[in-house]
Amino acid sequence: QVQLVESGGGLVQPGGSLRLSCVASGSIFSISTMSWYRQAPGKQRDLVAAITSGGITNYADSVKGRFTISRDNAKNTVYLQMNSLKPEDTAVYYCKLEWKNFGVLVATHWGQGTQVTVSS
């Protein structure tokens, strides 16, 4: 039922900025934890940032101070503002929705990803 569509990726120079967006269908967005993951070729998919339904955020150490996750429940959208981008940030970025009931994970949904390339 839930579908996630990412956008905003592209080619940017080191030190530049991008803002990724993820729009969710369905009615469970506002009560779900949203997160961004990234995966480079040949590497595992790693958590970049997460935000709970209550607005609590968590970031990977590698992006702290550079990336900011936020959400707009009225638009069913989660954002990832990426500043001071580095070549090692190059990856496909995926949006993830987690729906929990009484602390139990009952549903997980992934977007198809958007490519971010940081290069001169």
Give DSSP secondary structure letters for 44-93: --EEEEEE-TT--EEE-TTTTTTEEEEEEGGGTEEEEEE-S--GGG-EEE
What is the band of 100 on the pLDDT scale with cuts at 50, 70, 90?
confident
**DSSP assignment letter at 88:** G
Question: What is the overall mean pLDDT for the chain?
Answer: 96
Q: What is the mean pLDDT of residues 76-89?
A: 98
26-37 pLDDT per residue, tens: 889 999 999 999
What is the band of 64 on the pLDDT scale with cuts at 50, 70, 90?
very high
Please tell me the number of Cα atoms within 13 Å of 60 on its side-chain side. Answer: 15
Go through the chain and tell me how many residues it has: 120
